[in-house]
Every structure is written in structure tokens, then in C-alpha cells.
Structure 1
Amino acid sequence: MATFKVQDFSRLGGSSIKELANDFTEKLAKQEGAKQLTTAELTTEVWDKLQGTWVGNKGWNLISVPAMGSKPDGAGDFKLLIQPYIETMTFTDAGAHARNRGGIADQFVAALEYHQRVTDQKTGELLHVENGMFMNLSEIVDNDGKELPLPQFNIARSGTIPHGDSIMLLGRPPVVTEGRIDFPEASTIPTDFGPGFGYTDVFTHPSMEGNLFKSDPNKTLSADLDEMEKNGFKVKKTTTFIFDSDNSGGIHNIPFIVKHANAVRMQAFFWLEEVENTNTGQVFDQLQYTQIIDLDFQHPLGKDGKPDQSKLIKWPHVTINTMVKQ
């Protein structure tokens, strides 16, 4: 991807100074040895590294869905689906920057197109197809020569999924840290399910499905790195970037989805890792990710033992994978 250049315009550097509470990247940025990418580094070091084809056969899909025969106005009867999967994800440069004209200031958006294809590891059945863009929103140029603050969120991801969903997720600049990171918890346990019993049993008994930690799939990502280290592969550097629909973005769903299992929030955590084979000295790029989609469906039981029609249970739909660039 070409470096951003506009003749007769000045570039604003840096990133938004507004801090976000409980932001995972904020915690990373405060670690010793961490650095936050500038706008130019974001484009050249992250977007450029993503370009190409990534393949991973360590994917896991964990999703709770309404049980067969259950009704939207009923109690939380559900079925847990767990599937190992193989994935191919391709990123390509979208070309020239898109110019957003704003009068006294213009924004120049650099984008990567992506195509994601996921198949069941056991059956080969197609599970998921998605097309979208990763966007760098950092370049804002003041036509009057005065500096304006950069957007609070200066990376974005758009996507279209054939279930009938479209997403717009935004995030803050990536953070680079030395070595591997400690993954945050990615709980799959439903919330707001009321006093009913048995909702969490299927997530914890048994606690494993293959090598998947059912209640926290990020432990599986960590275990993947542990296994690599045993075989002489060491993570030298990790770049973390996160997209979230709650960051001034959103999800739009078709009416059927809204009625039966409404997707209300999506978070996507990406870890771009520089890995060294200590046996040969070879260095290669690896991409690990966790995506969490909150699905709202079924009513929790109230104190009277009847479905509480004023509330919905929130069910985390979690997918993970470890991928290598081809």
C-alpha cells in the first residue's frame, strides 16, 4: 500500500488523546517496551503486512442458538453448537484513497478489501462467507492549514454476511509489544439468564471439546503458542488491534435475525505476530484472532418461574483461529 501523499496538503500525525476506560489496547500501551503506532506506521507496518492470503486449520466456532421448537417469547431453551473449522482469509489493497470532503477539512481513507471463507474441518461443509474492508481513517487534512484533532477511532472494519447482517466496527490505533501477550478472557457464558439452573453446565462439563477451552476459547490460542514454543517457535513481536461495533459503529440485521437471535454487538481482536523458528532462524508472520458477537434471544426466568418479557439473555458467539500467511 502506497504511503499517503497529497500535494499542497499538510498531514496531521499522532492519534486521539482521548482515553477509553477498560480498553485492552490501552493496557498494552502502558506496558514497558510497548509503542503505539503512528498513522504512517499503521498503514505501512500493519495494513501492508495483512495483504496476501492467510490460512488456518485451528479454528473453533462456538455458538448458542435457540433450541428446536422454542419460541422468541419463551424461556431460554437453547442448543450449543461447537465446530472446528478451516479458514482462508485474503486481503488486497483497495487502491486509491477515498476522499471524504468536509469543507474546511478532508479525510483520506486507505482501505484493504478482505474475503473470508470458513469450512467445517470434519465435513468440508461451508460454514461462513464474508466480504468487507479494513480502513485507515487517520488522514485528516485541514485546508486552512490549521491542525484538527484526529478521529477518536481511526481504524474501521465493514463487512457483509449472508445470514443477513452488515457490520461497521471501529477501533483505536494498533499497539506493538515485544514477545507474546497474555490474552484477555473471552467468556462464552451467557449473561442475564436469571435464577434458572443449568444454563452454564454445558459450557463447563466437560470443560474441553478437543483442544478447545469451552468457557474461554482464548486459552486455546495461548495453548497454541505454548505448543509452538515447545517446537522452537518464538513470538518476537505482537501487534494488537481491536474493532468494536460499540465504538460509534453498529450492526444491521434482517427482520428474522432481529426477531429470533438478534446480533447486537461485535468485537474483533487481532494479534499480528512476528514468529521466529529458533531452529533455523526463519521469521514469518502469524495472525491470531478472537471474534465475539453478542446474540440476544429468549427471556430469562423471573422470580415467579415465568419468562421475564422485559429482558433477553445475552449469548456470546465466539470464534477463534491461528493463521499463517502463505
Structure 2
Amino acid sequence: MKPFDTNEFQRLGGASSRLLSQDLGQQLLAQAPVASLTPSQLTTQFFNDLEGSWFGNKGWNIIALPSKGSTPQSQGAFRLLVLPYAETLEVRNAGAPARNRGGSVDQFIAAAEYRQRVFNKDTGEALHVENGMFMNLSELVDNSSQTQPPPEFNVARSGTIPHGDSIMLLGKPPFVDQGAPAIPDISSLPPDIGQGAPLGYLDPYLAPQPGINVGNPNATLRHDLEIQAGEGFEILETKTLVLDSAQAGGINNIPFIVQHANATRMQAVFWLEKVRNTKTGQEFDQLQYTQIIDLVFHLKFGQADPNNLITWPHVTINTMVKQ
């Protein structure tokens, strides 16, 4: 097999340009059941379950790359990279809460550190490194020691990536469902390429790939669950966390990234599942996720404005098990 060029595996970070009403996270939050626990308790419970060592070898990376010779403002060709990967994720408690002093009101942030490592599934070559934190922003206390209502977005995730990206995603409390998650459809195709593109311009997304639904990667996550169910595994409970850089967060990129393939938004959805083997009674924790990063390059067809560029969704998915 030809050695894999690590420079072709793009960053797993970003911030977005699509309307929130059209987004995966908004769909899921609209379906969230009413919980009896407080936002702080729900978030703490999720962090406690997330803590530990995870491994998954069902990962897929789907990303469009500018072709050689093209420029960000050209109506150029692209190359679609579809890559299977394996991944380790280490999550640990960061220690005592950090205190943000705000005068009349202070904030106490409890955090969980994470360390992600991604490898080419076929060759074992290292592809991606990411370090960051999940943060519980819920605890606001005024000077009279009275607890204040939590902020609208009480969960945050920060991360740094050696491509030259730093992310900050925010979200609302995780929500809990009994049974398997209702993983919605998504599309890995750009939502708007303009008018007058060459015939078959997006055909690379239609080419069959063994093991992955390229056009709708979440169908592959659902298929993983279907295979498990057929083998006698039952999902007892699912905790869902939705994070988005467009929700008061953001992303900072080095100048090269901004110039050539800017990452403008990142969405991440985590499904933390309690699974039981119905044949043995054994239970274990499983983590599925979808991440969508908007990359911006190539002028939309029929457009002359150099700022009117195509948004290319960079999608990564995986199914992982706590070790």
C-alpha cells in the first residue's frame, strides 16, 4: 500500500457559516427530553462517565482538499479524501475547580482534560494529535454565596491542533434518553457550490466506498449499532452532548490556514451509551461521535466576489469503547 501523506489529513477543528436552524445540533436539542437534574448535575454526570481510556477502530475521515495548482479564490478542482482510522482518547479529571473572579459574581469551572491520538487504520501511521478540556461552566456564585442561574451555554470544549488551530465550542447540558440514540442524517456534500459547475463536479461523493456511507456518514454510525443489536447487544441509556463553535465560541487559525482552506466552524455531537450484552449480562460504556468542520475554499460557480467561497464539510465519525 502507498504510504499515507500525513499532510493530507486535515485538522479536526473549526467554527460555521450555515444557519443554526439547519444544523444537526439544533435538531437534537429540539428533541431533548425534560430532565429532573440541574444543568450542573447533568454535566458532571456526563464528565464522570467520559473519564477514562477509550479506543475505537471504526473511525472515518471525509474531507475535500484543494487540488494541486488551485487557489482559494479560483473555481478549481478538488480531491476527496476518505480515510479509515483508529483512535485513542484519554480523559481525566483536571482537579479542583478554577475560579473566575468577576467582582459581584464568581464562576467555578470544573474541567476534564482530554488527549486524542488518531492513527491510519491500515498502516498504523500517526495522523492527528489533539489536547484540550471539557469544562462545566454551570457554577455561578455571588458575593453573598447565593447560587446564580447557570449561563445559557454551560458546557465548553477547548482544543489545540498542531495544524495551527485552536477551538472553543459551547453547548447546553447533556440530555438523557432510555435506549439507543436517534442519530439523524447528515450530508458531507457542500450545501451550495453556486451555478454552472462542470457536469459531475461532485461525483467523487457518489463513488461507493466499502465500510462507509460517504454522503451520509451518520448512517454508518447507525449501521454499527444495528450490527451490535444483531449480535445481542442492547443499549440501555444514551447521554447526548451537543457542542458548537457558533454558540458564543470560535476558532483561531494561523495565517496559512486562513488563506488557503479556512476552518470557520466546528460542530460536535457525542452519544455516550451504556451497553449490555444480553447473552452474558456484562455492561460497558460506548462513545459515538460526529464532528463537522466547515472548510472554506474555491469560489462558488457563477460568482465573481472573492469572498463568496464554497463551504466544504469535513466530517469525522467513530464508535469507541471504554477500556
> Could you state the TM-score of these two structures normalised by the residue count of structure 2?
0.88
Cα RMSD between the aligned structures? 1.7
Letter in 1 for 2:312: W
Matches within 5 A, 1:1-326: 23-30=26-33, 35=35, 37-145=37-145, 148-195=148-195, 196-197=197-198, 198-204=200-206, 206=207, 208-302=208-302, 308-326=305-323
Partner amino acid for 2:189?
I
Residues 309/263 of structure 1: CA separation in 2 closer, same or farther (3 Å cut): same
- Separation in 1, partners of 2:40, 2:307: 48
Give the Cα–Cα distance (whole angstroms) in 1 for the partners of residues 61 and 29 of structure 2. Answer: 28
State whether residues 96 and 110 of structure 1, in contact with CA within 8 Å, keep that contact through their aligned partners in structure 2.
yes
* Matched residue, 2:10: none
Stretches of structure 1 lacking an aligned partner (at least 5 in a row): 1-19
Q: Secondary structure at the match of 2:226?
A: helix
For the residue of structure 2 that corresponds to 1:129, the secondary structure is: strand
Q: Which stretch shifts more, 116-125 or 146-155? A: 146-155
Partners of 1:308 and 1:97 lie apart in 2 by 48
Question: Number of aligned pairs?
Answer: 299
What is the CA-CA distance between 1:144 and the residue it aligns to?
2.8
Alpha-carbon separation, structure 2, partners of 1:28 and 1:55: 29
1:147 shift after superposition: 5.3
Q: State whether residues 44 and 136 of structure 2, in contact with CA within 8 Å, keep that contact through their aligned partners in structure 1.
A: no
Counterpart CA distance in 2 for 1:257 and 1:282 is: 46
Structure 2: which 5+ runs fail to align?
1-19
Contact 1:187 1:215 in 2 (8 A): yes
Q: Is the 8 A contact 1:37 1:176 kept in 2?
A: no
Q: Distance in 2 between matches of 1:76 and 1:35?
A: 49
Q: Residue 148 of structure 2 aligns to a residue in which SS? A: coil
Which shows bigger deviation, 249-258 or 119-128? 119-128
Query: Matches of 1:279 and 1:182 in 2, distance apart?
Result: 24
> How far apart are the structure 2 equivalents of 1:144 and 1:36?
26
Q: Which amino acid aligns with 1:322?
A: T
SS at match of 2:319: strand
Tell me how far apart the structure 1 counterparts of residues 295 and 149 of structure 2 sit (CA, whole Å). Answer: 35
SS in 2 for 1:35: coil
* Structure with more relative contact order (C-alpha pairs < 8 Å, separation 6 or more): 2
State the AA in 1 paired with 2:29.
Answer: E
Q: Does the 8 Å CA contact 2:154/2:173 hold for their aligned counterparts? A: yes
Q: What is the TM-score normalised by the length of structure 1? A: 0.88
Moved more, 173-182 or 193-202: 193-202
The one-letter amino acid paired with 1:55 is F
Aligned-pair CA distance for 1:143: 1.6
